[in-house]
Amino acid sequence: MSYPYQIRSFDEYQVAYRVSVNEPEQFWASVANNFYWRKKWDKVLEWNFKEPNVKWFQGAQLNITENCIDRHLKELGDKPAIIWEPNNPEDRTRIVTYNRLHKRVCQVAQMLKNNGVKKGDRVCIYMGMVPELAYAVLGCARIGAVHSVIFGGFSAQSIADRLEDAQAEYIITCDGAFRGGKDIPLKSVIDDALVGNKKIKRVIVYTRTRTPVSMIKGRDVWWEEEMEHAETQVEKDGAVSFPAEVMDAEDPLFILYTSGSTGKPKGVVHTVAGYMIWTTYTFVNTFQYKPGDIYFCTADIGWITGHSYIVYGPLCAGATSMMFEGIPTWPDAGRFWDIVDKYKVNILYTAPTAIRSLMGFGLEPVKGKDLSSLKVLGTVGEPINEEAWHWYDENIGKKKCPIVDTWWQTETSGIMISNLAGITPAIPSWASLPLPGVQPVLVDENGNHLPEPKEGEIVSGNLCMKAPWPGIIRTTYGDHERCRKNYFATYENLYFTGDGALKDAKGNYRITGRVDDVLNVSGHRIGTAEVENAINMHAGVVESAVVGYPHDIKGQGIYAYIIFNGKHGDDELTRKDILQTVSRIIGPIAKPDKIQFVPGLPKTRSGKIMRRILRKIAEGETSNLGDITTLLDPAVVDQIKNNRV
């Protein structure tokens, strides 16, 4: 495997960037020529941001799994595609070669076909981090079914909402998942999610934890039995095959739900060709992957990072991608470093929240671990504070590994702004330069483009993109208007990211965080409206308002102000009750860190909650609250201030 499109110097970066802006069609066609197509495109790009309508590589036909697997078999068949480290370090590791991956993916595709799944059908995947999760994702892609992976931490209610929105008919799940000392009963959560659901035709259950499960006759089947049957169908005379479905470039590949500023998560849709090109191109260039490198992304496949940088991007590049079932702090806080040492990991990609939490354990867990194999470090998901950046640089990278701070989103499908490891300069806490194909602009609240900063100056604004890149969101499932309103209507002819950013005279960007009502808790996106809706489900709650506040480890914590009308003899019990409600409605990741019971909320005369004030109080700022005279009841502010938790 070689990557003719790999950028190898700063000059090459500048040239690539220039060409990608001036001649995007030529640029992306030359990248795309390095992939395997059943039929090449008639037109590289057609777009407008009004509808929006973005089409890359129209007329082309392909299957992404032939690019991720089949085309590597001759050269890399016996090389590891996936190395899997189990939750319990004493359990057996699994090394999945490209040949083995090919066989398993063909089997899954056959199994899905046997169970009635067809091209275009939606398959919901709710599994722990086992290799079978990767097989399931790729098996769907092989037959052209649209996968929708739901992170294992979401509740039955969240799953039910997503199943409904995606109109899914099939589910692949596990009996349970191991995460640290816990055993999470996934199948039973699915059972709860399916109460009253009449659409689901089949639930395929993979055995991982041997947690007792109830199987519903006619609906639920065991993965192992189905796979065994499929094996005999895909294997003939020692050769394995399952014909990959021929897909159009703009056929949907997957739906992934993510939070926005309204109460209802959106199903972000990505399509086959553009996604493939974007994730592979950004993977190879950002991390400067070299054939043979062992690459470890610690994310969960339930999030976009896992989709793009554990499964599709690395496998398309013929890389060796590690998959870790467990958590960084179990059995102890040295787990990541043990893994790096054990497999001689070369590239490590993780989240600032993990770094901050591991920092808290001091250097003892790092001691004695051989980290000398590391060449490149990466972060993703949230701004990285300088302290964490330096800790990572000094104690993990030993000051010899470039750190790539990669800014991107579920909607962008791949890395957008980041330094390229060892090629473009790293600046602590700055995501730095846009990748080729990415054309950021900063605007003020009214959509005016900000002037370019002069030498020594820094400008601050809302981050938008003025042209499409191959991996841009195509639609929100079932509701294109929502996609338009959310991303393309705030500022004319621009894609709006929802983030604020700074820019310096050299063209570097520093992401300052969300400017909408979306929180980023431990790198996970959660809408304040979603949490409020969940809290309001509690019978005793009259009204609530949720804001974010700075949190040492999570980046942002969730602060909930609640007007409670029910009986509450004991605040602590009520708090617990509310937390449980949120867990049940969304999942434990959305539980507020702080709950304050308040007699009222600061509202304008028109009834709008003044979140600015609540945010300031949550942040600990109690003196400089700005103008509160327009409030309906200014006295409520003092009451809230005085009872801060």
Decide: is 587 part of the binding site for ligand PRX (CB under 6 A). no
Three-state SS at 606: coil
Residue 254 φ/ψ, nearest 5 degrees: -155, 165
Decide: is 70 part of the binding site for ligand PRX (CB under 6 A). no
What whole-number distance in Å separates Cα of residue 269 and Cα of residue 486? Answer: 14
Q: How many residues bind ligand PRX (CB under 6 A)?
A: 22
**Part of the chain binding ligand PRX (CB under 6 A), chosen from 12-20, 27-35, 290-298, 401-409:** 401-409
Query: C-beta of 419: minimal distance to ligand PRX in Å?
Result: 11
Cβ-based nearer residue to ligand PRX, 409 or 475? 409
Which of 438, 440, 462, 442 has the alpha carbon at shortest distance from 451? 442
**Which residues, including other chains, have CB under 8 Å from residue 212's CB and lie 6 or more apart?**
none
What whole-number distance in Å separates Cα of residue 403 and Cα of residue 183? Answer: 34
Beta-bridge partner residues of 427: 430
CB 111 within 8 A of CB 227: yes
Which of 16, 24, 62 has the alpha carbon at shortest distance from 44? 24
Considering only residues 286 through 305, tell me which ones interact with ligand PRX, judged by CB under 6 A. Answer: 304-305
Using the CB atoms, write b or e for 319-348: b if 16+ within 10 Å. Answer: bbbbbbbbbbbbeebbbbbebbbebebbbb
Decide: is 413 part of the binding site for ligand PRX (CB under 6 A). no
Decide: is 158 part of the binding site for ligand PRX (CB under 6 A). no
Cβ-based nearer residue to ligand PRX, 300 or 382? 382
CB 374 within 8 A of CB 348: yes
CB 152 within 8 A of CB 175: no
Q: What is the DSSP string of 284-299?
A: HHHTT--TT-EEEE-S
Q: Of 405, 517, 530, 532, which lies in the binding site for ligand PRX, with binding defined by CB under 6 A? A: 405
Cβ-based nearer residue to ligand PRX, 382 or 532? 382
Q: Of 279, 395, 406, 413, which lies in the binding site for ligand PRX, with binding defined by CB under 6 A? A: 406
Cβ-based nearer residue to ligand PRX, 265 or 602? 265
Q: How far is CA 167 from the centre of its chain?
A: 22
Maximum alpha-carbon separation in the chain: 82
Cβ-based nearer residue to ligand PRX, 258 or 486? 258
Distances (CA, A) of 199 to 290, 472, 585: 45, 30, 21
Q: Of 155, 158, 173, 258, which lies in the binding site for ligand PRX, with binding defined by CB under 6 A? A: 258
Decide: is 431 part of the binding site for ligand PRX (CB under 6 A). yes
Cβ-based nearer residue to ligand PRX, 334 or 383? 383
Which of 149, 191, 162 has the alpha carbon at shortest distance from 308? 149
Decide: is 282 part of the binding site for ligand PRX (CB under 6 A). no
What whole-number distance in Å separates Cα of residue 545 and Cα of residue 556? Answer: 16
Considering only residues 486 through 525, tell me which ones interact with ligand PRX, judged by CB under 6 A. Answer: 497-499, 511, 513-514, 520, 525
**Dihedral angle of Cα 398, 404, 407, 409, to the nearest 10 degrees:** -90
Cβ-based nearer residue to ligand PRX, 418 or 533? 418
Query: C-beta of 429: minimal distance to ligand PRX in Å?
Result: 8
Decide: is 471 part of the binding site for ligand PRX (CB under 6 A). no
What whole-number distance in Å separates Cα of residue 18 and Cα of residue 21? Answer: 5
Decide: is 483 part of the binding site for ligand PRX (CB under 6 A). no
Give the residue nearest to ligand PRX (CB): 410
Decide: is 128 part of the binding site for ligand PRX (CB under 6 A). no
What whole-number distance in Å separates Cα of residue 463 and Cα of residue 431? Answer: 13
Cβ-based nearer residue to ligand PRX, 139 or 306? 306
Decide: is 530 part of the binding site for ligand PRX (CB under 6 A). no
Decide: is 420 part of the binding site for ligand PRX (CB under 6 A). no
Q: Of 86, 128, 302, 383, which lies in the binding site for ligand PRX, with binding defined by CB under 6 A? A: 383
**Part of the chain binding ligand PRX (CB under 6 A), chosen from 375-383, 434-442, 481-489, 637-645:** 375-383
**Part of the chain binding ligand PRX (CB under 6 A), chosen from 172-180, 358-366, 405-413, 539-547:** 405-413
Q: Which residues of the shown chain bind ligand PRX in the complex (CB under 6 A)?
A: 258, 304-305, 380-383, 405-410, 431, 497-499, 511, 513-514, 520, 525
